[in-house]
Amino acid sequence: MNRRTFLKSSVAMAAAAICGLPQSRAESKQTLPLKLGIRAASMKMAGNLDVIKTAASIPGIMGVELQVTAGKPNLRDWDTVRRYKCEADRWAMRIPSLAGVWDAGVQISSPKAAESVRLSIRAAEMLGSNALLLAFFQKNAPDMTKKESYGPIVAMLKETAARAADAGVSLGLENSVSPADNAKLVDLVGHPAVGVYYDLHNMATYGHGDQAIPGVKLLGKERICAVHIKNGDKLLEEPGPIDWVAAFRAFNEIGYDGWYVYESSHTDIADCIEDTKKNNAFVRQHARMPAA
């Protein structure tokens, strides 16, 4: 036994003695709790402060993904941000991620994109959010074979990445390009605060369905900052474009320990609550957090 091992063992035994726990229990690793959230938009409550209380009523849901530019006033107003933070604290809920970051007329390649991102980073920091979802689909997504197409996006992300890192926020890219092109884009930026907000269902929607599950391993834990889970208006256990049993197996294999956020479709809030309860049971059966 070397000195470091001896000290680590001694600390564990001391903690066990102080806490009155068996040494084996004090030394054993514990599995992290599964982090399940839901989008305010999926609850049809984007921009509505009551979304926090409503989400808290769904057993197993720990957080809500908010839309920055939804509501009047929205999360560009700092008093509104503080009200959401107070409501989240009141109901012991998290706000793990923010979406809807672009102001009117702005997209990721727009001259004002960096400003929209910087303002959204500030809101995310105030709310204690881990990820900021930057969406860009189809005509707004870059052609990753052409530097003139992806270059301005890489430059904007490099410009804003340091500010995101200072705020403890990851810039999560959600788009219509393939997993391999997402990996290329993240690697071109080359900053740990820029990753992929991975949505397997979107991969199928935009023609990359055969790459969706292999893309989990391709991107890896180091590039995936958050995950959207959905099966349209059906339960996750029902047939759909993604085999979610296989998908969760892939996430388990890479040791993914981040948030799973529902972006499911529902007819109304009652339908949303009942479906989410069933989906939660399914996710708990198949998703595993790594031991801490």
Per-residue tokens: 154 = 């890489």
Given a contact cutoff of 8 angstroms between Cβ atoms, the answer to whether 212 and 246 are in contact is no
Q: How far apart are CA 263 and CA 232, in angstroms?
A: 8
Within-domain flag for 129: yes
Per-residue tokens: 278 = 């069933």
In total, how many domains does the chain have? 1
pLDDT at 23: 53
- 59 burial type by CB count under 10 A (0-12 exposed, 13-18 middle, 19+ buried): exposed
Residue 216, domain CATH: 3.20.20.150
Count of H-run helices and E-run strands, the chain: 12, 8
Per-residue tokens: 220 = 């890896």
pLDDT one-digit tens code per residue, 132-178 = 999 999 999 999 999 999 999 999 999 999 999 999 999 999 999 99
pLDDT at 46: 97
Within-domain flag for 16: no
Within-domain flag for 91: yes
Q: How far apart are CA 270 and CA 117, in angstroms?
A: 34
Within-domain flag for 52: yes
Q: How far apart are CA 65 and CA 255, in angstroms?
A: 23
Q: What are phi and psi of 192, to 5 degrees?
A: -65, -15
Beta bridge partners of 97: 131
pLDDT one-digit tens code per residue, 229-273 = 999 999 999 999 999 999 999 999 999 999 999 999 999 999 999
Within-domain flag for 23: no
Helices (H), the chain: 3-19, 23-27, 51-56, 78-90, 113-127, 147-166, 179-189, 200-205, 209-212, 214-223, 244-254, 269-286
Within-domain flag for 187: yes
Instruction: Decide: pTM greater than 0.75.
Output: yes
Within-domain flag for 13: no
pLDDT one-digit tens code per residue, 4-44 = 444 445 545 544 444 455 555 545 566 678 999 999 999 99
**pLDDT, the chain, mean:** 92
Within-domain flag for 120: yes
Q: Which domain holds residue 204?
A: 33-286
pLDDT at 98: 98
CA proximity to 281, closest of 30, 31, 36, 32: 36
pLDDT at 32: 75
